[in-house]
Amino acid sequence: MMVLVTYDVNTVSVTGQKRLRHVAKLCENYGQRVQNSVFECLVDPNQWVQLKNGLVKLIDEEKDSLRFYLLGANWKRRVEHIGTRPGYDPEGSLIV
Amino acid sequence: MMVLVTYDVNTVSVTGQKRLRHVAKLCENYGQRVQNSVFECLVDPNQWVQLKNGLVKLIDEEKDSLRFYLLGANWKRRVEHIGTRPGYDPEGSLIV
């Protein structure tokens, strides 16, 4: 299923900047960055649990915001893109 | 229906910073900011057309990225939040 991950990490402090890097790095392991703080992750149920638990451990819940949008299996019809970084197929190769 | 709007506006130039402000302002008219560049907009079909057309006019398609995720009517079960800015009900009052 497709899970959209969006985050705001508070980067005022050096530890915040570190959290931001770690959050992005973890998301990269599971999906495709489509905007600066937005990843589309095509995951199976086990991967979804791992991704979610991993992110929850990384963020500071008092300072950062993490949102997940479960787009399901028929996610393609739910997504529209305009502008730079054109459409790609997470199930295939990245079109740059 | 619920439409999630995410955007990356290139703010290197003054005109880019202006676009960013205008994009955020327009989104505020239709929905609720949940993260810096993420809005959840509960719109009817007419509003959705207005919102989309308005945003397309504002951005620079060669520099900015705009994505829409159509979460449908049963959107609540698709959203999970962790961290700051707790859950709110776009159909009701904002819980701060």
Decide which of B26 and A96 is more confident.
B26
pLDDT of residue A92: 54
Cβ-based neighbour number of residue B42 at 10 Å: 18
Backbone angles phi, psi at A25, to 5 degrees: -60, -45
Mutate to test the interface with B, among A7, A32, A35 (most CBs of B within 10 A): A35
Report pTM: 0.89
pLDDT at B91 over 60: no
Tens-digit pLDDT profile for chain A (96 aa)? 999 999 999 999 999 999 999 999 999 999 999 999 999 999 999 999 999 999 999 999 999 999 999 999 889 999 999 999 754 455 554 444
Q: Are A8 and A65 in contact (CB under 8 A)?
A: yes
Closest chain B residue to A87, measured at CA: B67
Distance (Å, whole) CA B13 – CA B72: 36
Model confidence at B85, pLDDT cuts 50, 70, 90, reads: confident
What is the ipTM metric for this complex?
A: 0.87
Backbone angles phi, psi at A43, to 5 degrees: -130, 155
Distance (Å, whole) CA B78 – CA A69: 5
pLDDT of residue B50: 98
Model confidence at B90, pLDDT cuts 50, 70, 90, reads: low
Closest by Cβ to B35, choosing from A65, A78, A85: A65
Residue type, A21: R
pLDDT of residue A85: 77
Q: Copy the structure tokens of residue A84.
A: 């730079």
By CB atoms closer than 10 A (0-12, 13-18, 19+), residue B33 is middle
Closest chain B residue to A68, measured at CA: B80
Distance of CA B41 to the CA centre of its chain: 6
The pLDDT > 90 percentage for chain B reads 84
Q: Using the beta-carbon criterion (under 8 Å), do B66 and A83 form an inter-chain contact?
A: yes
